[in-house]
């Protein structure tokens, strides 16, 4: 019975109600509005953006920030919207081949 339970075990535990909670910062689980960890990751990213913005402005420089998210661009997209970023690259919509030239213009 690898990975399974017997009918007797199921009957003894029939009063239990079990709920699964997705623990992922990527917010990439189908059917959920927001996974556990996404909000705290976004909050931490915004703290860093605030700190970097001050430095970038004082040095009159452009900064590139890479955020977590593996193959899901949710955190990058929401961060870009929240901080008013000029550019955002996300895996769901890869940049065109000449993006560097367009950015420099």
DSSP codes of every residue in 8-42: HHHHHTTT-------B-SS---TT-S--BTHHHHH
User: Catalytic pick from 26, 39, 50, 97?
Assistant: 26
Catalytic site includes residue 26 = yes
* Tokens, residue 63: 């900064």
The catalytic residues are 26
């Amino acid at each position: 019975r690898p990975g399974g339970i017997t009918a007797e075990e199921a009957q003894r535990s029939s009063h239990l109600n079990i709920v699964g909670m997705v623990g992922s910062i990527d917010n990439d689980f189908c059917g959920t509005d927001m996974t556990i960890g996404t909000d705290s990751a976004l909050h931490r990213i915004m703290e860093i953006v605030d700190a970097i913005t001050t430095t970038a402005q004082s040095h009159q420089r452009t900064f590139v920030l890479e955020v977590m998210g593996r193959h899901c661009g949710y955190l990058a997209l929401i961060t870009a919207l929240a901080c008013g970023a000029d550019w955002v690259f996300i895996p769901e919509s890869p940049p065109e081949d000449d993006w560097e030239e367009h950015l420099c213009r």
